[in-house]
Structure 1
Amino acid sequence: ARAAREAASGAADLSELRLRLEAFDGCALKATAGHFVLAAGAPGARLMVLDFSPGEEEERSGEAFVGPEARLLDNMLKAIGCGRETAYLAYATPWRPPGGRELNASETATLLPFLQKHIELAAPQVLLILGDAAAKAALGANDLARLRGAWFDYDCGARSARAFLSLSLGNLLKTPALKRRAWRDLRAVEGAWK
Protein backbone atom coordinates (compact mmCIF):
# COMPACT_ATOMS: atom_id res chain seq x y z
CA ALA A 1 0.00 0.00 0.00
CA ARG A 2 2.96 2.32 0.58
CA ALA A 3 3.98 2.16 -3.09
CA ALA A 4 0.39 2.98 -4.05
CA ARG A 5 0.31 5.98 -1.71
CA GLU A 6 3.56 7.28 -3.17
CA ALA A 7 2.44 6.77 -6.76
CA ALA A 8 -0.97 8.36 -6.20
CA SER A 9 0.19 11.32 -4.13
CA GLY A 10 2.55 12.54 -6.85
CA ALA A 11 -0.19 13.02 -9.45
CA ALA A 12 -0.86 16.69 -10.21
CA ASP A 13 -3.97 16.17 -12.35
CA LEU A 14 -6.38 13.48 -13.55
CA SER A 15 -4.35 12.70 -16.67
CA GLU A 16 -1.22 12.07 -14.64
CA LEU A 17 -3.16 10.00 -12.10
CA ARG A 18 -4.55 7.86 -14.92
CA LEU A 19 -1.04 7.26 -16.29
CA ARG A 20 0.34 6.43 -12.84
CA LEU A 21 -2.49 4.02 -12.03
CA GLU A 22 -2.36 2.34 -15.43
CA ALA A 23 1.42 1.81 -15.04
CA PHE A 24 1.15 0.63 -11.43
CA ASP A 25 2.04 -3.05 -11.07
CA GLY A 26 1.21 -3.46 -7.38
CA CYS A 27 -2.35 -4.72 -7.87
CA ALA A 28 -2.95 -8.31 -9.01
CA LEU A 29 -6.21 -7.30 -10.73
CA LYS A 30 -4.16 -5.71 -13.49
CA ALA A 31 -2.95 -9.16 -14.60
CA THR A 32 -6.44 -10.69 -14.79
CA ALA A 33 -8.38 -7.83 -16.39
CA GLY A 34 -8.73 -7.36 -20.12
CA HIS A 35 -8.74 -3.57 -20.08
CA PHE A 36 -7.99 -0.58 -17.88
CA VAL A 37 -11.28 1.36 -17.74
CA LEU A 38 -11.40 4.35 -15.41
CA ALA A 39 -13.94 7.08 -16.14
CA ALA A 40 -16.23 8.91 -18.56
CA GLY A 41 -18.10 12.18 -18.64
CA ALA A 42 -16.98 15.64 -17.58
CA PRO A 43 -13.93 15.83 -15.28
CA GLY A 44 -14.37 18.69 -12.84
CA ALA A 45 -18.17 18.43 -12.85
CA ARG A 46 -20.07 19.31 -9.68
CA LEU A 47 -21.49 15.76 -9.56
CA MET A 48 -19.26 12.67 -9.52
CA VAL A 49 -20.87 9.24 -9.71
CA LEU A 50 -18.78 6.37 -8.37
CA ASP A 51 -19.63 2.85 -9.51
CA PHE A 52 -17.67 -0.21 -8.41
CA SER A 53 -15.97 -1.61 -11.51
CA PRO A 54 -16.31 -2.00 -15.25
CA GLY A 55 -18.98 -4.51 -16.24
CA GLU A 56 -18.70 -7.33 -18.75
CA GLU A 57 -19.43 -5.08 -21.74
CA GLU A 58 -16.92 -2.47 -20.57
CA GLU A 59 -14.38 -5.25 -20.02
CA ARG A 60 -14.85 -6.43 -23.62
CA SER A 61 -14.85 -2.99 -25.25
CA GLY A 62 -12.36 -1.15 -23.06
CA GLU A 63 -14.79 1.79 -22.86
CA ALA A 64 -16.26 3.20 -19.66
CA PHE A 65 -19.98 3.13 -18.90
CA VAL A 66 -21.33 1.49 -22.07
CA GLY A 67 -23.21 -1.60 -20.80
CA PRO A 68 -26.81 -2.08 -19.64
CA GLU A 69 -26.04 -0.66 -16.20
CA ALA A 70 -24.63 2.46 -17.87
CA ARG A 71 -27.79 2.90 -19.92
CA LEU A 72 -29.79 2.76 -16.68
CA LEU A 73 -27.44 5.33 -15.14
CA ASP A 74 -27.84 7.62 -18.16
CA ASN A 75 -31.64 7.47 -17.75
CA MET A 76 -31.37 8.14 -14.02
CA LEU A 77 -29.15 11.17 -14.57
CA LYS A 78 -31.42 12.46 -17.33
CA ALA A 79 -34.37 12.30 -14.90
CA ILE A 80 -32.63 14.85 -12.65
CA GLY A 81 -31.54 17.10 -15.50
CA CYS A 82 -28.00 15.79 -15.71
CA GLY A 83 -25.97 13.84 -18.23
CA ARG A 84 -22.46 12.85 -19.16
CA GLU A 85 -21.70 16.40 -20.23
CA THR A 86 -22.49 17.65 -16.71
CA ALA A 87 -21.41 14.71 -14.53
CA TYR A 88 -18.19 12.75 -14.05
CA LEU A 89 -18.59 8.97 -13.95
CA ALA A 90 -15.82 6.85 -12.47
CA TYR A 91 -15.06 3.37 -11.22
CA ALA A 92 -13.62 2.54 -7.81
CA THR A 93 -11.38 0.02 -9.56
CA PRO A 94 -10.37 0.37 -13.21
CA TRP A 95 -9.82 -3.39 -13.51
CA ARG A 96 -12.79 -5.75 -13.41
CA PRO A 97 -12.22 -8.32 -10.66
CA PRO A 98 -12.59 -11.94 -11.83
CA GLY A 99 -16.27 -12.82 -12.00
CA GLY A 100 -17.19 -9.30 -10.88
CA ARG A 101 -16.40 -10.15 -7.24
CA GLU A 102 -15.78 -7.46 -4.62
CA LEU A 103 -12.26 -6.35 -3.76
CA ASN A 104 -10.41 -8.23 -1.05
CA ALA A 105 -8.75 -6.34 1.82
CA SER A 106 -5.36 -6.19 0.11
CA GLU A 107 -6.82 -4.87 -3.16
CA THR A 108 -8.85 -2.28 -1.27
CA ALA A 109 -5.78 -1.08 0.63
CA THR A 110 -3.77 -0.88 -2.59
CA LEU A 111 -6.39 0.96 -4.66
CA LEU A 112 -7.71 3.30 -1.95
CA PRO A 113 -4.91 5.92 -2.29
CA PHE A 114 -5.56 6.11 -6.05
CA LEU A 115 -9.31 6.40 -5.54
CA GLN A 116 -8.98 9.11 -2.91
CA LYS A 117 -6.60 11.05 -5.16
CA HIS A 118 -9.00 10.56 -8.07
CA ILE A 119 -11.85 12.10 -6.11
CA GLU A 120 -9.60 14.88 -4.78
CA LEU A 121 -8.46 15.84 -8.30
CA ALA A 122 -11.96 15.53 -9.80
CA ALA A 123 -13.08 17.93 -7.04
CA PRO A 124 -16.83 17.24 -7.08
CA GLN A 125 -19.20 19.04 -4.76
CA VAL A 126 -21.41 15.95 -4.63
CA LEU A 127 -20.25 12.33 -4.74
CA LEU A 128 -22.94 9.72 -5.48
CA ILE A 129 -21.65 6.25 -4.55
CA LEU A 130 -23.54 3.39 -6.20
CA GLY A 131 -23.73 0.25 -4.10
CA ASP A 132 -21.94 -1.39 -1.23
CA ALA A 133 -18.97 -2.68 -3.26
CA ALA A 134 -18.12 0.84 -4.44
CA ALA A 135 -18.62 2.19 -0.91
CA LYS A 136 -16.36 -0.46 0.63
CA ALA A 137 -13.68 0.38 -1.94
CA ALA A 138 -14.01 4.13 -1.32
CA LEU A 139 -14.29 4.00 2.45
CA GLY A 140 -12.20 0.94 3.26
CA ALA A 141 -14.97 -0.10 5.65
CA ASN A 142 -17.71 -2.68 5.77
CA ASP A 143 -20.19 -1.04 8.19
CA LEU A 144 -22.32 0.79 5.65
CA ALA A 145 -25.80 0.50 7.19
CA ARG A 146 -25.64 3.92 8.84
CA LEU A 147 -24.47 5.58 5.59
CA ARG A 148 -27.01 4.13 3.18
CA GLY A 149 -29.49 6.73 2.00
CA ALA A 150 -27.93 9.54 4.05
CA TRP A 151 -25.49 12.37 3.47
CA PHE A 152 -21.96 12.23 4.87
CA ASP A 153 -18.67 14.02 4.26
CA TYR A 154 -16.11 12.19 2.17
CA ASP A 155 -12.63 13.48 2.92
CA CYS A 156 -9.91 12.83 0.38
CA GLY A 157 -6.71 14.72 0.87
CA ALA A 158 -7.11 18.45 0.49
CA ARG A 159 -10.80 18.26 -0.40
CA SER A 160 -14.09 17.08 0.97
CA ALA A 161 -17.29 16.26 -0.91
CA ARG A 162 -20.84 15.72 0.24
CA ALA A 163 -21.39 12.03 -0.38
CA PHE A 164 -24.49 9.90 -0.67
CA LEU A 165 -24.62 6.09 -0.78
CA SER A 166 -27.36 4.67 -2.98
CA LEU A 167 -28.11 1.31 -4.57
CA SER A 168 -25.96 -0.46 -7.12
CA LEU A 169 -27.02 -0.36 -10.75
CA GLY A 170 -26.84 -4.15 -10.89
CA ASN A 171 -29.33 -4.48 -8.04
CA LEU A 172 -31.67 -2.02 -9.74
CA LEU A 173 -31.61 -4.03 -12.96
CA LYS A 174 -32.24 -7.30 -11.12
CA THR A 175 -34.87 -5.95 -8.71
CA PRO A 176 -37.08 -3.30 -10.34
CA ALA A 177 -39.00 -2.87 -7.06
CA LEU A 178 -35.95 -1.01 -5.72
CA LYS A 179 -36.37 1.76 -8.29
CA ARG A 180 -38.72 3.71 -6.00
CA ARG A 181 -36.00 3.88 -3.35
CA ALA A 182 -33.42 4.81 -5.99
CA TRP A 183 -35.69 7.62 -7.18
CA ARG A 184 -35.87 9.03 -3.63
CA ASP A 185 -32.07 8.90 -3.48
CA LEU A 186 -31.78 10.66 -6.83
CA ARG A 187 -34.13 13.42 -5.73
CA ALA A 188 -31.94 14.02 -2.68
CA VAL A 189 -28.85 14.19 -4.89
CA GLU A 190 -30.64 16.48 -7.33
CA GLY A 191 -31.35 18.96 -4.54
CA ALA A 192 -27.68 19.06 -3.53
CA TRP A 193 -26.25 18.98 -7.03
CA LYS A 194 -28.22 21.87 -8.53
Structure 2
Amino acid sequence: MDQQWEQLRQRCLVCRACSLAQERTQVVFGVGDPAAEVLLVGEAPGANEDKQGEPFVGRAGKLLDDMLQMIGLSRERIYITNSVKCRPPQNRDPLNTEKEACSGYLRRQMELMQPKILVCLGRISAMELIKPDFRITQEHGLFFRQDGIEKMAMYHPAALLRDPGKKPETFEDLKRLQAKIREICVRTKLDF
Protein backbone atom coordinates (compact mmCIF):
# COMPACT_ATOMS: atom_id res chain seq x y z
CA MET A 1 0.00 0.00 0.00
CA ASP A 2 2.86 2.43 0.75
CA GLN A 3 3.85 2.68 -2.91
CA GLN A 4 0.25 3.08 -4.11
CA TRP A 5 -0.41 5.70 -1.42
CA GLU A 6 2.68 7.68 -2.39
CA GLN A 7 1.76 7.50 -6.10
CA LEU A 8 -1.72 8.82 -5.30
CA ARG A 9 -0.26 11.60 -3.15
CA GLN A 10 2.19 12.63 -5.88
CA ARG A 11 -0.60 12.66 -8.48
CA CYS A 12 -2.75 14.80 -6.20
CA LEU A 13 0.06 17.28 -5.45
CA VAL A 14 0.32 18.25 -9.14
CA CYS A 15 -3.42 18.10 -9.91
CA ARG A 16 -4.80 20.85 -12.17
CA ALA A 17 -8.28 19.36 -12.69
CA CYS A 18 -10.16 22.46 -11.52
CA SER A 19 -9.68 26.22 -11.15
CA LEU A 20 -8.68 25.94 -7.47
CA ALA A 21 -5.21 24.85 -8.65
CA GLN A 22 -4.59 28.39 -9.96
CA GLU A 23 -4.84 30.09 -6.56
CA ARG A 24 -3.65 27.45 -4.11
CA THR A 25 -0.38 27.72 -2.24
CA GLN A 26 -0.25 23.95 -1.91
CA VAL A 27 -2.42 20.84 -2.07
CA VAL A 28 -3.60 19.54 1.30
CA PHE A 29 -3.57 15.76 0.83
CA GLY A 30 -3.99 14.69 4.47
CA VAL A 31 -2.14 13.77 7.63
CA GLY A 32 -1.86 10.78 9.94
CA ASP A 33 -1.58 7.04 9.48
CA PRO A 34 -2.65 5.89 5.98
CA ALA A 35 -3.33 2.43 7.46
CA ALA A 36 -5.62 3.85 10.16
CA GLU A 37 -9.00 2.32 10.92
CA VAL A 38 -10.51 5.77 11.59
CA LEU A 39 -10.78 8.44 8.87
CA LEU A 40 -11.90 12.02 9.52
CA VAL A 41 -13.01 14.07 6.51
CA GLY A 42 -13.69 17.79 6.37
CA GLU A 43 -14.87 19.75 3.36
CA ALA A 44 -11.88 21.81 2.13
CA PRO A 45 -8.71 23.51 3.38
CA GLY A 46 -8.80 27.02 4.78
CA ALA A 47 -6.12 29.70 4.64
CA ASN A 48 -3.91 28.18 7.37
CA GLU A 49 -4.17 24.72 5.81
CA ASP A 50 -3.28 26.12 2.39
CA LYS A 51 -0.16 27.75 3.86
CA GLN A 52 0.98 24.72 5.87
CA GLY A 53 -0.18 21.90 3.58
CA GLU A 54 -1.89 20.09 6.47
CA PRO A 55 -5.61 19.79 7.25
CA PHE A 56 -7.13 21.28 10.38
CA VAL A 57 -4.46 23.64 11.66
CA GLY A 58 -5.08 27.00 13.29
CA ARG A 59 -7.80 27.47 15.92
CA ALA A 60 -10.14 24.84 14.46
CA GLY A 61 -7.27 22.37 14.23
CA LYS A 62 -6.27 22.99 17.83
CA LEU A 63 -9.86 22.38 18.89
CA LEU A 64 -9.96 19.16 16.83
CA ASP A 65 -6.74 17.99 18.50
CA ASP A 66 -8.28 18.72 21.92
CA MET A 67 -11.45 16.83 20.94
CA LEU A 68 -9.42 13.79 19.86
CA GLN A 69 -7.36 13.93 23.04
CA MET A 70 -10.58 13.86 25.11
CA ILE A 71 -11.24 10.34 23.82
CA GLY A 72 -7.66 9.13 23.89
CA LEU A 73 -6.78 9.68 20.21
CA SER A 74 -4.13 11.65 18.34
CA ARG A 75 -3.52 12.57 14.71
CA GLU A 76 -0.84 9.88 14.48
CA ARG A 77 -3.39 7.07 15.10
CA ILE A 78 -6.02 8.19 12.61
CA TYR A 79 -6.07 9.86 9.20
CA ILE A 80 -7.45 13.36 8.55
CA THR A 81 -8.21 14.77 5.13
CA ASN A 82 -10.76 16.86 3.22
CA SER A 83 -13.10 16.06 0.34
CA VAL A 84 -11.55 18.91 -1.65
CA LYS A 85 -7.76 19.13 -1.49
CA CYS A 86 -7.29 22.81 -2.47
CA ARG A 87 -8.59 25.94 -0.75
CA PRO A 88 -11.65 27.63 -2.25
CA PRO A 89 -11.26 31.44 -2.40
CA GLN A 90 -12.41 33.28 0.76
CA ASN A 91 -13.16 29.86 2.33
CA ARG A 92 -16.43 29.59 0.40
CA ASP A 93 -18.14 26.19 0.10
CA PRO A 94 -16.59 24.07 -2.65
CA LEU A 95 -18.50 24.10 -5.95
CA ASN A 96 -19.88 20.83 -7.32
CA THR A 97 -17.33 20.92 -10.16
CA GLU A 98 -14.52 21.23 -7.60
CA LYS A 99 -15.90 18.37 -5.52
CA GLU A 100 -16.20 16.21 -8.63
CA ALA A 101 -12.65 17.04 -9.73
CA CYS A 102 -11.34 15.91 -6.31
CA SER A 103 -13.69 13.00 -5.61
CA GLY A 104 -11.38 10.41 -7.15
CA TYR A 105 -8.60 11.25 -4.70
CA LEU A 106 -10.76 10.75 -1.62
CA ARG A 107 -12.36 7.64 -3.10
CA ARG A 108 -8.92 6.15 -3.77
CA GLN A 109 -7.69 7.12 -0.28
CA MET A 110 -10.66 5.23 1.16
CA GLU A 111 -10.05 2.21 -1.09
CA LEU A 112 -6.43 1.99 0.02
CA MET A 113 -7.16 2.63 3.69
CA GLN A 114 -10.32 0.56 4.05
CA PRO A 115 -11.32 2.43 7.24
CA LYS A 116 -13.77 0.87 9.65
CA ILE A 117 -15.05 4.27 10.80
CA LEU A 118 -15.49 7.47 8.79
CA VAL A 119 -16.24 10.72 10.64
CA CYS A 120 -17.53 13.61 8.59
CA LEU A 121 -16.57 16.95 10.10
CA GLY A 122 -19.45 19.24 9.20
CA ARG A 123 -22.57 19.28 7.08
CA ILE A 124 -20.91 19.60 3.66
CA SER A 125 -18.80 16.48 4.16
CA ALA A 126 -21.77 14.55 5.59
CA MET A 127 -23.97 15.51 2.62
CA GLU A 128 -21.30 14.20 0.27
CA LEU A 129 -20.30 11.03 2.12
CA ILE A 130 -23.39 9.92 4.07
CA LYS A 131 -26.47 11.27 2.28
CA PRO A 132 -27.34 14.35 0.22
CA ASP A 133 -30.09 15.53 2.60
CA PHE A 134 -28.04 15.09 5.78
CA ARG A 135 -29.20 17.45 8.54
CA ILE A 136 -26.31 18.08 10.89
CA THR A 137 -28.46 19.56 13.67
CA GLN A 138 -30.66 16.44 13.82
CA GLU A 139 -28.32 13.64 12.70
CA HIS A 140 -24.91 14.45 14.21
CA GLY A 141 -23.58 11.60 16.33
CA LEU A 142 -25.67 8.91 14.61
CA PHE A 143 -23.95 6.02 12.86
CA PHE A 144 -24.92 4.97 9.33
CA ARG A 145 -23.49 1.67 8.08
CA GLN A 146 -22.67 1.99 4.38
CA ASP A 147 -20.36 -0.09 2.20
CA GLY A 148 -19.00 -1.88 5.27
CA ILE A 149 -18.02 1.41 6.96
CA GLU A 150 -19.57 2.95 10.07
CA LYS A 151 -20.14 6.59 9.14
CA MET A 152 -21.07 9.45 11.44
CA ALA A 153 -20.94 13.23 11.37
CA MET A 154 -20.05 15.79 14.01
CA TYR A 155 -20.12 19.55 13.98
CA HIS A 156 -17.10 21.04 12.24
CA PRO A 157 -14.61 22.45 14.78
CA ALA A 158 -14.97 25.90 13.16
CA ALA A 159 -18.73 25.75 13.84
CA LEU A 160 -17.98 24.99 17.50
CA LEU A 161 -15.73 28.05 17.66
CA ARG A 162 -18.58 30.17 16.29
CA ASP A 163 -21.20 28.54 18.56
CA PRO A 164 -19.65 27.10 21.74
CA GLY A 165 -23.16 26.08 22.88
CA LYS A 166 -22.83 23.03 20.60
CA LYS A 167 -19.83 21.68 22.53
CA PRO A 168 -21.85 19.53 25.01
CA GLU A 169 -23.59 17.76 22.08
CA THR A 170 -20.23 17.26 20.41
CA PHE A 171 -18.77 15.76 23.58
CA GLU A 172 -21.59 13.18 23.50
CA ASP A 173 -20.77 12.48 19.83
CA LEU A 174 -17.12 11.98 20.77
CA LYS A 175 -18.10 9.49 23.47
CA ARG A 176 -20.16 7.57 20.87
CA LEU A 177 -17.15 7.58 18.54
CA GLN A 178 -14.91 6.32 21.35
CA ALA A 179 -17.36 3.48 22.11
CA LYS A 180 -17.54 2.52 18.41
CA ILE A 181 -13.73 2.46 18.15
CA ARG A 182 -13.58 0.15 21.16
CA GLU A 183 -16.31 -2.03 19.65
CA ILE A 184 -15.01 -2.58 16.11
CA CYS A 185 -11.41 -1.40 15.76
CA VAL A 186 -8.54 -3.83 16.26
CA ARG A 187 -5.41 -1.69 15.75
CA THR A 188 -6.60 1.67 17.04
CA LYS A 189 -5.44 2.01 20.62
CA LEU A 190 -6.97 4.65 22.85
CA ASP A 191 -4.96 6.23 25.67
CA PHE A 192 -7.64 5.30 28.21
TM-score past 0.5 threshold: yes
Q: Which residue of 2 aligns with 1:74?
A: 65
Please say if residues 52 and 130 of structure 1, whose CA atoms lie closer than 8 Å, have aligned partners that are also in contact. Answer: yes
Structure 1 residue 135: Cα displacement: 2.3
Aligned length, in residue pairs = 179
Structure 1 residue 13: Cα displacement: 2.5
TM-score where L is the length of structure 1: 0.83
Question: Which of these residues, 153, 169, 186, is aligned with residue 145 of structure 2?
Answer: 153
Identify if the C-alpha distance between structure 1 residues 22 and 138 changes in structure 2 by more than 3 Å, giving closer, same or farther.
Answer: farther
Structure 1 residue 81: Cα displacement: 0.7
CA RMSD in angstroms comes to 2.0
Secondary structure in 2 aligned to 1:13? helix
Structure 1 residue 174: Cα displacement: 0.8
Structure 1 residue 117: Cα displacement: 1.3
Q: Which moves more between the two structures, 102-111 or 73-82?
A: 102-111
Residue 33 in structure 1 maps to residue 24 in structure 2: yes
Please say if residues 148 and 164 of structure 1, whose CA atoms lie closer than 8 Å, have aligned partners that are also in contact. Answer: yes
**Distance (Å, rounded) in 1 between the aligned partners of 2:34 and 2:78:** 8
Q: Which residue of 2 aligns with 1:176?
A: 164
Identity over the aligned pairs, expressed in percent? 28
Please say if residues 40 and 65 of structure 1, whose CA atoms lie closer than 8 Å, have aligned partners that are also in contact. Answer: no
Structure 1 residue 56: Cα displacement: 1.7
What are structure 2's unaligned runs of at least 5 residues? 183-192
Structure 1 residue 184: Cα displacement: 1.1
Q: Which moves more between the two structures, 108-117 or 173-182?
A: 108-117
Structure 1 residue 101: Cα displacement: 1.1
Structure 1 residue 147: Cα displacement: 4.8
What are structure 1's unaligned runs of at least 5 residues? 1-11
Residue 142 in structure 1 maps to residue 132 in structure 2: yes
TM-score where L is the length of structure 2: 0.84
